[in-house]
Amino acid sequence: MADGKLNHAELCVIAVEWLYRKFDCGVVVSGRRRGVLEMPDALGFLGRDSVLVECKATRQDYRQDAKKLIRQQPELGMGKWRIYLAPPGVIDPDTLPSGWGLAEAERRGRGWRVTPVRDSYTFERDAFAEIERLAADLASSESYVEHLKTERVYDEMRAEEQAMLEEAG
């Protein structure tokens, strides 16, 4: 962005990397998926536990987030720990929902730095929703892998056919 603040897409990339690095998550999912009540910007898994990161690039986006059903009924949400990630000054820690953590991300040279502002408490979470989210990602990646395998088989068949034509010709 022109003012140097990180945009939502950049924050999402940082959130994924941060979950791998800081929390040592073995699996992290990110991106929008239909069919689930909550669509976290990043959700990391540490064994049986999970960390949800919601990225907010603007105060307006943060205010809109508070209106979501999932924020009104936190027991329906994902993440044993829940953290907002935003540029410095976007979220006032005093306005955070009960139990939520806050971390601020900013550019540093060619990279970025994440500074924890407030830790998250633990939440009761909807583990089934987390499994649905993970399954949706696995299903889409499996479909993509199957597509790549099919393309490779067709490429090999075309190459064999071409070789046979060249030998005959």
Assigned domain for 27 exists: yes
Q: Would you say residue 56 lies in a domain?
A: yes
Measuring CA to CA, which residue among 164, 78, 70, 168 is closest to residue 120? 78
Q: Using the predicted structure, report yes or no on whether residue 2 has a pLDDT greater than 50.
A: no
pLDDT given at position 152: 59
CATH number, position 29: 3.40.1350
pLDDT at 147 over 80: no
Pairing relationship of beta strands 49-55 and 81-86 according to DSSP bridges: parallel
Nearest to 74 by CA among 148, 9, 125: 125
More confident residue, 33 or 6: 6
Domain assignment present for residue 43? The answer is yes
Q: Which domain holds residue 99?
A: 8-135
Q: Does residue 38 register a pLDDT over 70?
A: yes
Q: Does residue 165 belong to any structural domain of this protein?
A: no
List pLDDT tens digits, range 41-90.
Answer: 999 999 889 999 999 999 999 999 999 888 889 988 999 999 999 999 99
Whether residue 169 is contained in a domain is answered as no
**H/E stretch holding 8:** helix 8-21
Structural domain tally of the chain? 1
